Amino acid sequence: MANINNQSEARFLDWQRWINVKPGELPALLWSFAYFFSLLCSYYIIRPIRDEMGVSGGVENLQWLFLGTFLAMLAIVPVFGWLTSHYPRRKFLPFAYLFFIFNLLVFYALFQSSMEHQYIARAFFIWVSVFNLFVVSVFWSFMTDLYSSEQSKRLFGFIAAGGSMGALIGPLLTISLVDHVGVTHLLLLAVLLLGCAIYCIRRLDLWSQDFNSASVPFASANTTTTLQHEKIAGGVWAGVQLVAKSRYLLGICLLILLYTTLSTFLYFQQAQIIRDTFVDSAARTAVFANMDFATNALTLMLQMFLTGRIVKAIGIAWTLSLVPLLLAAGFLMLSFAPVLWVIVVLQVVRRAGNYAIMRPAREMLYVVLSREQKYKAKNFIDTTVYRSGDALSAWVYAGFKAAGLPLAHIALLAVPLTLVWAAVAFLLGKKHEQLVIQQSEELNVELLKE
């Protein structure tokens, strides 16, 4: 028995050398890692297919697909609000993923049918765009509910690396399997991985119950057995009301709108340059898959070795503003040289920086909020606000093109907007730090009263 305990302690010390993990946290950390891995591996199996369907349907029609995605988001948000109001966390999280599993099986049947492929492809593009934001938003809501503010700064970088590893494996599976099994059968593999994500949720809930019954002292104040079985207050549109009442949440909305606007501009420029460079559909799909692979390889390296250290070294405010500042330089470069290698490098660096640095830092903004805000307000921001920014900026970009503005001029117009994004990110980071201090002081007062 002593040898087993010594071996367990040695293994824990090995983990601690690489990750700033404390006793009792490791099981949840690994299940969280596996959960995000399964989720993004599933998404990245089908993402290259979605991007090719968008280009093959005509770059000039992309704004309609973005509008369709936004309308789909408007339809799904009240459904999620109803679920969170009527079921506890341990039930509505699996329900959300089972819903998307059912959708994938429907698309599998449609692709196997004799229906016209063009309409299925457009529906699939919209569905994948909804699926991506929604399931990732639900994942991070769960993480911010499970971990404390202090834990999030230490562990979110490693947890995000699980998603990056899944995002790295997903395109490789698509590249290696698509010629052997075909596009349609890849959907079944995505279904299997979503099933693994549901299993991880179950394991995390069981860990949380065992963890609380053992009275381990580091647990998040939110992570109690009672809260796991509680329904979250508020109606189906409670997320909208919560956002409207909070300047902090409205600031996050502005952050998301600026991010989506600039990302959409870059996505349209990428689609235009790649369309003009490659005639063959298979070649375009390969380019998209290779970009995904390069992005996720860089993301994984950053998350494993730098994310936690960056937040600790420069603080959340500068961490949030780092990627916008880099993107401002990138848009300036694109305005002088709107060519393939520039757009590829810029997209890889932007997406890797977002996934590895800005996204984990952005999720930390929600840790200081209530459970209702974490699930309902956050989901509304991550889905409806996000896709409204996509839809609006898509039409703005289409207007620029209709007015005859060349790609280089549009890139130059994006530079000052990117600097505004950086300023908003910095101010939100400072506000988060103030809220953390305020909550700590309130907790100390409560402890003194007891």
- Could you tell me which of 147, 129, 276 has the C-alpha nearest to residue 208? 147
Listed by start position, the domains of the chain span: 23-449
Task: Read off the pLDDT band of 116 (50, 70, 90).
Answer: low
Task: Read off the pLDDT band of 224 (50, 70, 90).
Answer: very low
Task: Read off the pLDDT band of 15 (50, 70, 90).
Answer: low
Checking if the pLDDT of 17 tops 70, the result is: no
Checking if the pLDDT of 85 tops 70, the result is: no
- Measured between alpha carbons, how far apart are the two ends of the chain, in Å? 40
For range 417-445, the mean pLDDT: 87
Looking at 8-22, 155-169, 224-238, 284-298, which range is the least confident one?
A: 224-238
- Give the whole-angstrom CA distance, residue 144 versus residue 162: 16
- CATH 1.20.1250.20 is right for the domain spanning 23-449: yes
The string of pLDDT tens digits covering residues 117-149 is: 677 778 888 888 888 878 887 888 888 888 877
Checking if the pLDDT of 56 tops 90, the result is: no
Query: In whole numbers, what is the pLDDT of the chain averaged over residues?
Result: 79
Task: Read off the pLDDT band of 358 (50, 70, 90).
Answer: confident
Give the pLDDT confidence score for residue 36 in this predicted structure.
Answer: 94
- Looking at the chain, the whole-number percentage of residues with pLDDT higher than 90 is 20
DSSP result, 174-218: HHHHHHHHHHHHHHHHHHHHHHHHHHHHHHHHHHHHHHHHTT-TT
Q: Give the single-character DSSP code of 404.
A: T
Looking at 43-52, 218-227, 315-324, 410-419, which range is the least confident one?
A: 218-227
- Give the whole-angstrom CA distance, residue 440 versus residue 124: 46
